[in-house]
Structure formats: C-alpha cells, structure tokens
Structure 1
Amino acid sequence: MSWQIEKILAERLDSETGYYKYPFGTRHAMAICYPNTYEVGMSNLGMQIIYREVNRREDWLCERAFLPDKQLAKWYAKEHTPLLTLENHRPLCDFEIVGLSVNFEMDYFNVPAILEQGHVPVLAAERKDTDPLVVMGGPVAFFNPEPLTPFVDVCMVGEGEQMIHAFLEAYMKGTEQGLGRRELLAALAQVPGIYVPALYRHEYGEDGQLIRIVPEAGAPLQVERQWQELSAPGETVVSTPYTEFGAMYLIEIARGCGRHCRFCMAGYCYRRPRVRSLEYVKEAVLRGKRLGKKIGLMGAAISDYPQIDELVTFIRQEGMAFSCASLRADSITPAIVKGLAESGQKTITLAPEAGSAHMRDIINKGITEEHLMHSIDLATAAGIRHVRMYIMIGLPMETDEDITGIVDMTRRVRQHMAAIGNTGKLTLSINPFIPKPCTPFQWMAMTHKKVVEKRLEHIKKALGRDKQIEILAEPLRQCYIQGVLSRGDRRVGELLVLAHRYGGVKGWKRAASELHFDTEQFLYEARPVGTLLPWSVLDMGLVQGYLEHELEQARKGAYTIPCFEGCRRCQVCGGT
C-alpha cells in the first residue's frame, strides 16, 4: 500500500468535520461509493444522509470511496494499489456491502471502473458468496436501473433514509441463516422497495422489442417505490472545504415538486411535494453558522417554499449569506433577491426552458415573459445585474417558430434589461431535451442531432453580435449518449460492459460498432404508448393512465394546475 495514497487520504479526512470512523472489524462493514471524484461526490446531500443513517446504527460502520482524481489516479496506477476508503484505507473488496450512489447518466461509465479498482468483480453474475453485495441507490435506481444491471446485485427503489435500515436488517437475517448469494437475493427481494435485477428475466421479440419481464424465485411482479415524510435530518453531515460547494452548509428545505413540468423526471418520481418545518430549517441554519459556513438551500423550487421570506430574513438577521438553485420566476419575491444580493450573489438564474408560449404550454412550465421581466426587475433593484436562463431545444412538438421564439424572447429580455438600466450579462444555458423515464415524454423520440445542431447554430448566429449575450451549450455528443442511457434496456448494459473494456466513454462508439448496436433506434424512434418499457417493473405510485393523459394534454397545449391539498389526480398521495 502506498504511503503517498494514505497520506493524501489522511489529509483529506483531517480537513473534514462530522465524519464517522470506527475500528474496522468491530461492526458489519459497508462502503458507500460515489462514481465520481471526491469534490463532486461530497457535494451530494443524499449520499451524506445514507452515510449518517448507517453509521448511527450500533451494528454497522459505513466508509466512503470515490473515483480517484488526477493526482490520486497517478499514485494508484504507479503503486498498483486497490481503491481505498477514506476512513480506514480499506479496499472495497473487504466490505460486506458496497453501495453506489448514482445520480447522473455520464457517471454510468465510472461504475464498472470504481468496482474494478476496488477489486470487486465487475459483473454481478461472476460474484461468489464471499464477494461484496453491490447495492445501488440514488435517482437512477428508481427511474431506470436497467443499463447498470450487469454491475449491481440490488437496487433501492425510492428514498433511502428508512429503506436502508429495512434492507440491512433483512441482509443480516439472511447471512445469519447462512443463505447463499442466490437465496439471499431472493430474501432481499421481499423487502418493500428492493429490486433484484437477477430475479427478472427480460424477453425480446424477433424485432428486438422487449415483450415480457418475468419475475423468478418468488420476486414480486412490481417493486413499489418508497418515499417518506421528511422526519430524518436533511443537512450537511460531513463538512469539507474540498467540494464544489465547500463554503456551504447544505440544507434540504423541501423535496419533490408539484408543478407538473412534463419533461422533468424529478417532478414525477419525487412526488409528493413535502416541506421541512421552518423551525427545523432555522435550527439547521444555526448549525451551519457555528461552522462559519454559507447556507445552501436545497430543493426543487426554493421560491415555492411556503415560508421562504421569513426564512431568508432569518438567515440575513443572523448575519449569514445564502445561496440557492434556480428560482421559479412566478414565485420569486423581493425578500429572496434582496437576501441573495446581500449574500454577494451577482447572477439570478431563471428557467423558462422554452422561448415561445406555445412550447411552454406543451411542457406545462407555467412561466410567462411577464414573470421573467418581473423577476429581472426585482433582481436589478436589489443590485443583481447578471441573468442566466436555462433553455432546452429539441423538445417534443417543437417547430422552427419555437426556435425563433427563443431568439425573440432573448432579445426582449435584453431590451428590458437595458430599459431599466441593467448593463449586466445575459447568459443562455442551452441543452437538448433528453426524454426521461416515468414522465409523460418517456415515449417520445429525441430530436435528431443534426436538427439540434442546426437550431443551436441558428440561435448563436442570431444573437452572437450582442456582446452582452453569452451562449453556453453542453457538448452534444455527451447529450446523445445520455439519451441512450436514460431509457436504455439491458442490451445497453451489455454495451456499457464492452465500453468499459475499451476505456469507458471513449470506448462507446467502438463497443456499439462491434455489438452492431443501433443507438439511433433508442434515440430517434418514438415508442408506442402501451409498449412494455424496460423500467415497467418499477411502480412509481402513479395511477394507471396518468402519464398517457398528461402526454395528451401536452399535445393539446393544455395546462395542468400544480398539486394542491387534497389533490388525488395522480394518486401518489393515495385515495381516489
């Protein structure tokens, strides 16, 4: 084992507060891994919450591991050392359970890499009774885990704060009974929310379409997604300066969103909307204050928090700065922008998603240009000069006129900024629409890459002369790989296996060629409503036909009002 690797890991741990470290061998052992670097992974609040839940038990310890950054990767390669955990510097293969927190499609390529570096057999089918059980959580696990099923033994479908305890209890019971791996997996499959991919056989027709999913060994016909009230703490557990949000103390003030944006996976799979009490959030703010941190408010729509004005006023009265994710232009308030400005924020981020009213009706965004202009007025009055707007192109039913609408809206926003004396920069962050599972657009085709390139070039050309307008766009190649991974089936998993052998994402094209894998079929062909989808075994709690109804509403450009108390439309909250 390299002393240099141990030195770097020890220095990183010494920079933290709030971590747990128990003598290895005194408890059952679980490692939780984020398939990206420490800087990225430690910005993820969900991973920290599970880390806390396991370590607060008396019978388990949980340690962390991350994909090595460039500095560590050189030492690992030089010393031929397996990937080590942060706390006790143990290789992943020493743990009973290896947990994976997977949140983004491009991290799929890092899943086999981190297992291989930890000396855990990469393929689930090749693991023996003595090998760790590989368990996946995070949004990917309950949206569409199928592309990663070659690598994982168990998926946790839903929010894990309580489910992790039920899972660990079932695991210990099975191991105490001396169950072999196959029998243990069958027992775990009986835990609500636990999906064991190996117990479901996927059958395809001659045309390559998925025609049947067959449960085996007593596995349930469907796995019900688990959710919970926000009773467990939802704030930074381990504080470290070495993250993307190193100066912030993160506090989840709400979970879920009831706005019904038809493209948004989180809005459908994190229902129902729940908020934390103002009393709890204030206490969490004070905990962040004791650490000398800036407050980072987390949630799908921060400005929708019922007591947001009182909260930001409290934060500022405590002499603290705060920040938050993008705001909804129709619920932003003077108190929010005043507090952000006093906290040093220079840019207000808004997400109209589309330029034309026609397109915003289709996606059910519920934002008007008047909302945008009002938000910019408030921000400018508070001293925030720069504006960033998130825009998608290639949305379902989009026309050339809708692209012109993006240009026209941007010009009107820029003109409005000038008219009120705001000389700041207007940034458009433009990305292609990617259809997501468990949304009304899950059946839709992705707009062809050449069309998106043409439309993006049109926007750049039309707005490029204005030096006060900046256009940012994610590399399209990655977006179209994400498009395949997002709605992929187990054949996409085979593609990931081969791509891993060829170096990960850089081996994607070669692997697809060798497997004669038609990525365009996954991207550009609409899926008939009613067809069997790879994730059909996962039950999000939506009443049958609800997503189909919302797709039809999109075609009509009809508005669906937000969730309200007593609403029973989608039936996630129960009732009829």
Structure 2
Amino acid sequence: MDFELKRELKELLAGERGYYRYPMGTRTPFALVYPNSYFVGMSNLGLHIIYELLNMRDDVACERVFLPERKEIKRYENTRTPLMSIENQTPLYEFSVIGFVLSFEMDYFNVLQMLELGKVKVKAADRGERDPLVIAGGPCATFNPEPLAGVIDAFIIGEGEVVMPALMDAWNEAKRQGMSRADMLRFIANVPGVYVPALYEHRYDDKGRLAAIEPLDGAPAKVTRQWVQDLDAHPAHTVVITDNTEFNFYLIETARGCGRHCRFCMAGYCFRRPRNRSLGVITREVKEALQYNKRIGLMGAAISDYPEINDLCKEILGEGLSMSVASFRADSVTQDLVDSLAQSGLKTLTMAPEAGSRRMRAVINKGIEEEHLFNAMEMGIDAGIRNFRLYIMIGLPFEQEEDIEAIIDLANRLKDYMEEKGAKGTLTLSVNPFIPKPFTPFQWKPMADRKYVEQAFKHMMQSLRKRKNIIVNVESPKEAYVQGVLARGDRRVADALLLAHELGGSKAFKRALKECGLSMDEYLYRERDEAELFPWEQLDMGFTREYLYEELEKADAQKPTIPCFDGCHRCGVCG
C-alpha cells in the first residue's frame, strides 16, 4: 500500500466543498467512476447529478473514483496499491456497485485499465457472487453499449434520474432475498431502462454480419430509453466545488434535449423531447451559487434556444456574477446574450455551421445560413469580442469536393468581414472527421475514406495558412477512426477491446481487431442496407427506424425537417 497516494487523495478532498462522506459500513458503498482524470471528470455535470441523487438516499454512500495521472498509475502498479475513492480512500474492489459515466468512446480503454487497477475482474463473465456489480450510464451507454458488453454487467439506457432510484431499489431487494448473481441480473433487467447484455444472444450470418438479437429467459424483448418528464423536479447544478477542473464554473443546466433535427447529431435524437427548466428554478440555483463566487456555466443543447435567455442573462449579471455557455446557435443568439458573455470576459465567440456550403447544411438539416453567421459575428464585434471560432466537419454523407472549397471560401469571407468591422483578432476553424452515429439517419452511411479526410485537411490548411490570423485545428484522423469502430461496433468489438488492453491499450486496438478476426474497414467503410440489423436495436429510443430512414432520404434530397413543436407526433417520442 502506497500511503502517499492515500494522503494525496485526502488533500484533494480537503480542497473541495459540498462532498458527501459517510462512515464505512453504514450504507451500501457505490463507486461513481469517471474514466478520465479528476480535472476532466469534475467538469462533467452528469457526474454531479448522479452523485447527489445517490447520496440523498438513506441507503447509499456514493464515492467518486477517477483515472490517476500517468505517473500516479505507475505508482499504483509498482506498489500494487488498488485504485481508491476520493472520499474515504476505499479500494475499488470493496464497493458493492461500481458505476461508470461514459461520455467519450476513447475512454473505453480507461474503463478496462481502471477495473484492473482497482483489482476488479475485467471480464463480466468472470465475476462471481462476491464481486461488485459493474454498471455504466451516460451518452455512450445509451447509444450503443455493445462494444463494452463483455465488460459491463448492466447499462443505464436514458437519463439516470429516472433509472437509478429504481435500479438501486431492485438491487437492494435482490440482496434481501439472497438471490444469486445470475438471478439478480435477471431481476434488475426488468427495471425499465436497464440493459443486461448477457441476457441477449447475438447471432451472425455466414458473412459475419448480425442476423438476430434474441432475448434469453427473463429478459425483456426491448429496453426502452427513460427520460425525465419534468426537469423542474430535478434541478441540475454543480454539487462538489473545486478549483481543480477543466471548466472552473458553477454549472447549471437550463434545458435538456433538442428538437432541431440535425441529422448528424446523436444527442438530438436520443435526448428528445426538448425540455426547458422554468426561469424561477434556474434563478434560485443562480442565487445558491453566489456563495461560491464562480462564473456561471449554462448547460444545454443550445443555450440561445432557451425561451427566457435574455431575462436569465440579466439575472446572472444583476447578481454580480459572470457567465459562460456550453453552446448557442447563430440563428437564435440575441444581442443581450452576446453582450452578457462579453461583459463576463468572453474573448472568443464560437459558432457551429458544421459545413461550408448551403447544400451541405441542407443535407444535415442544420438550419444555419450564412446571414446567421455574419449577424452573430456582428453582434460579437459590437460587444467588443474580437476572436471567433467555427466548428466544421469533414466527410459528411453526400459531401463533394466543392463543399471543401466552400469551407475555405466561407472562412475567407468571414475573416474579410472581421477586418472590415475593425476586429483584428483570430478566426479559428476546429475541424473534425465526421463519424456516423447510432440512432441517427446517417447510421446507414459509411465514414469517409481516411485518405480523403487527410487530403481535405491538408488542402484546407495549405489554402488558409497564408491568411494572417486564420488558424486551422484538426482532430487526429487516427483517433477518430478508432472512435468510429467503438461508436458503431457490435459486441465482438468487446473481445478486441479486452485484447488491446492486454497488449497495451488504444495503440494496439487495430492489431487486436485483426487478431480477433475483425476488420476495421467492415465497421467503418461499408454502407448498410436499409433492412440491416444494427447491434443497438434491442434498445428503443421512442422512434422507429423507418422514421430515421425517411430522414436519410430527405438528406439525400436536401429537404428540410422543421423543428419540434407542441402537438407534434412525427417521430413518436412524444406519444
């Protein structure tokens, strides 16, 4: 045991306010695990929500566990010290339930590493009666749990505020009845929104493609996504206060879900319907934040879509606080919002057209036109903001070479406009390879060939580098294509993940796929037939695949889909 590691965790806890800490043995120990660093994880609002939700019960002691920094991992390994929690420095293997928060596919490799560091059996099939129940939730778990099916015992499908109380009640009942581990898994599988992969058999045809998903005895035919109907009943804000975070804000969620129907956006489909918190609830949370004197970070799919955003801005600034936003849309942003951000010290205004040409924005149903970008830029300049950022994707379905040229042209014209208005700052393009995600209309489409994407990146950088104060930042294509496999993969990918872990981690993933008899190209570059069965189709998001396929056909025809509205029943989510 490395007692210095224990001391460092105690020091980390001493720098926090708002944490829960219960005496050992008085409640069911639950480890809430974020498979990345403390610095990153403590900026995840979902972690704060579930942490408070569980600790407000009278039967659960929830403690947080994070991936140690690289040098600390070596110390854990060299001293054989098990990975420990922040609150009581409890070894991971001593918890009854271990719950992972899955926000990013590349963190899957960290999940396996953390289980091993915590002395917990990595393979779900190897765990016995005395081993912890290992569960996972978050966006990645909801969209496609299959690549971790061999590791995780049960997945939370949907929003945790609805599922977790019922799951913990069921787990307690199973323990009270003295159920075996196998019986307990069958029992919790009947909690709405809980998916136990071991209770479903996946069969493949002679081409190695998924042919059927069959529930075993005691498993529901479908697992239906659960979601919060009334957000006001579940206020969502920062719970544990620390300065040691990626975004040193007091986070408050204004809304959840999005009804804009952007065809590339997994969150837009899987977090429907769009729901707003009342202004009264949010302003009460703002007042509670006063004691911490932190900048307010407003969270939501598009903060500018919040119907009372101007009043909210006035409330925050009127309390003497500053603010930031997770995102806004150029077609709904207001001058009051931009002015409030500028008064709060914002130096760079970010817009997300996603594509450079009007044709491609019609394909993805973005709803942003050039006039919206120029208007938002003018608002920013009028407010004193001098730097701007654009989010762009390369390799979208139906993309052509002229669409790449349109990105370059748009960047030049926006920079011209900045200079014309006297803004001598920087225009930054953040460019990412597009990954077709589950439960979107583009789930049938392949990823663009990696060479095409790399050539497009190179052409953009060469075309714009001569222009002063334009910066092009690109995501690593290598990592993006690994993400593509993990986002779209079936449960056979879990075997490759496990092998890659044994071989050293993410860098060995391509080799592990090959040794498992799997082809990266099969997952990435093959267009799916309309009737093909997807690995995630045992999950029900509330809409049909026919609805998604109609949206794909509309994308090909560049036809728009209007946003959600009251009384709408097009997709089926609203009943």
TM-score (norm 2): 0.99
Aligned residue number for residue 85 of structure 2: 85
How many angstroms does 1:3 deviate by?
Answer: 1.8
Q: What is the aligned partner in structure 2 of residue 264 from structure 1? A: 265
> Please, what is the CA RMSD of the aligned residues?
0.9
Match of 1:331 in 2: 332
In the alignment, the residues of structure 1 paired with residue 278 and residue 415 of structure 2 have an alpha-carbon distance, to the nearest angstrom, of: 39
Structure 1 length-normalised TM: 0.98
Question: Deviation at 1:75?
Answer: 2.9
> How many residues in Structure 1 have an aligned counterpart in Structure 2?
573
Q: Are 1:97 and 1:132, in contact at CA under 8 Å, matched by a contact in 2?
A: yes
2:531, 2:511 → 1: CA distance? 33
Counterpart residue type for residue 279 of structure 1: G
Secondary structure of 2:63 counterpart: strand
For residues 70 and 445 of structure 2, the distance between their equivalents in structure 1, rounded to whole angstroms, comes to 39
Aligned to 1:538: 539
Aligned to 2:36: 36
* Cα distance, 1:462 vs structure 2: 1.2
CA–CA separation in structure 2 for the residues paired with 1:407 and 1:506: 33
Indicate if the aligned counterparts of 2:257 and 2:271 stay in contact, CA closer than 8 A.
Answer: yes
Runs of 5+ unmatched residues, structure 2: none
Give the whole-Å Cα distance in 1 for the aligned partners of 2:358 and 2:343.
Answer: 33
Offset of 1:107 from its aligned partner?
0.3
Correspondence 1:219-234 to 2 at 5 A: 219-228=219-228, 229-230=230-231, 231-234=233-236
* Match in the other structure for 1:194: 194
Greater mean deviation of Cα atoms: 539-548 or 497-506: 539-548
Aligned 8 A contact 1:147 1:485 in 2: yes
Query: What is the deviation of 1:325?
Result: 1.9
Are the aligned partners of 1:4 and 1:75 in contact in 2 as well (CA < 8 Å)? no
C-alpha distance in 1 between matches for 2:80 and 2:234: 41
Pairs within 5 Å for 1:464-475: 464-475=465-476
CA distance in structure 2 between the aligned counterparts of 1:316 and 1:191, rounded to whole angstroms: 44
- Give the aligned partner of residue 212 of structure 2: 212
Contact 2:493 2:513 in 1 (8 A): no
Aligned to 2:20: 20
For residue 110 of structure 1, what is the amino acid of its counterpart?
N
Name the CA distance, whole Å, in 2 between partners of 1:72 and 1:553. Answer: 51
Deviation at residue 518 of structure 1 after TM alignment: 0.8
The Cα of 1:543 is off from its aligned counterpart by 3.7
Structure 1 position 544, deviation (Å): 4.9
Amino acid in structure 1 at the alignment position of 2:185:
L
- The answer to whether the Cα contact below 8 Å between 1:543 and 1:572 also exists between their aligned partners in 2 is no
Alignment of 1:286-305 (within 5 A): 286-305=287-306
In structure 2, the partner of 1:153 is 153
Could you say what secondary structure the match of 2:431 adopts?
Answer: strand
Q: Which whole-Å CA distance do the structure 1 matches of 2:223 and 2:517 have between them?
A: 32
Match of 1:238 among 237, 240, 251: 240
Distance, in Å, in 1 between the alignment partners of 2:117 and 2:111 is 10
* Aligned counterparts of 2:361 and 2:381: Cα–Cα separation in 1: 25
Match of 1:442 in 2: 443
For residues 175 and 385 of structure 2, what CA distance do their matches in structure 1 show?
Answer: 58
Kindly state the Cα deviation for residue 468 of structure 1 after the two structures are TM-superposed. Answer: 1.1
Q: Distance in 2 between matches of 1:427 and 1:44?
A: 25
What are the residue-to-residue correspondences of 1:501-540 with 2, within 5 Å? Answer: 501-540=502-541
| Contact persistence 1:360–1:367 (CA under 8 A) | yes
Work out whether residues 510 and 520 of structure 2, in 8 Å CA contact, stay in contact via their aligned partners in 1: no
The Cα shift of 1:439 comes to 0.4
Q: Deviations over 1:339-385 (max 9, x none)?
A: 11110100000000000000000000000110000000000000000
- What is the CA distance between 1:71 and its match in structure 2? 4.4
What secondary structure does 1:272 align onto?
A: coil
Once residues 28 and 135 of structure 2 are traced to their aligned partners in structure 1, the CA distance between those partners, rounded to angstroms, is: 15
Q: Distance in 2 between matches of 1:258 and 1:421?
A: 36
How many Å apart are 1:503 and its aligned residue? 1.1
Equivalence map 1:404-553=2 (5 Å): 404-553=405-554
What CA deviation, in whole Å up to 9, does each residue of 1:475-505 have, x standing for no partner? 1100000011110001111110100001110
Deviations 1:49-75 (A, max 9, x none): 111111111111111101111343243
Find the aligned partners of 1:544 and 1:434 in 2 and give their Cα distance. 19
Contact 1:296 1:323 in 2 (8 A): yes
Does the residue aligned with 1:64 lie in a helix, a strand or coil? strand
Question: Identity of counterpart residues, as a percentage?
Answer: 52
C-alpha distance in 2, partners of 1:468/1:394? Answer: 25
Give me the whole-angstrom Cα distance separating, in 2, the residues matched to 1:2 and 1:162: 39
1:5-16 matches, within 5 Å, as: 5-16=5-16
Is this contact kept in 2: 1:347–1:384, CA < 8 A? yes
Alignment of 1:14-413 (within 5 A): 14-228=14-228, 229-230=230-231, 231-246=233-248, 248-413=249-414
Q: Secondary structure at the match of 2:468?
A: coil
Offset at residue 78 of structure 1 (A): 3.4
Residues 535-563 of structure 1: per-residue CA shift (max 9 Å, x gap): 00000001451101111110110010111
Look up the SS of the partner of 2:444 in the other structure.
coil
Amino acid at match of 2:485: V
Amino acid paired to 1:494:
D
Separation (CA, whole Å) in 2 of partners of 1:70 and 1:240:
21
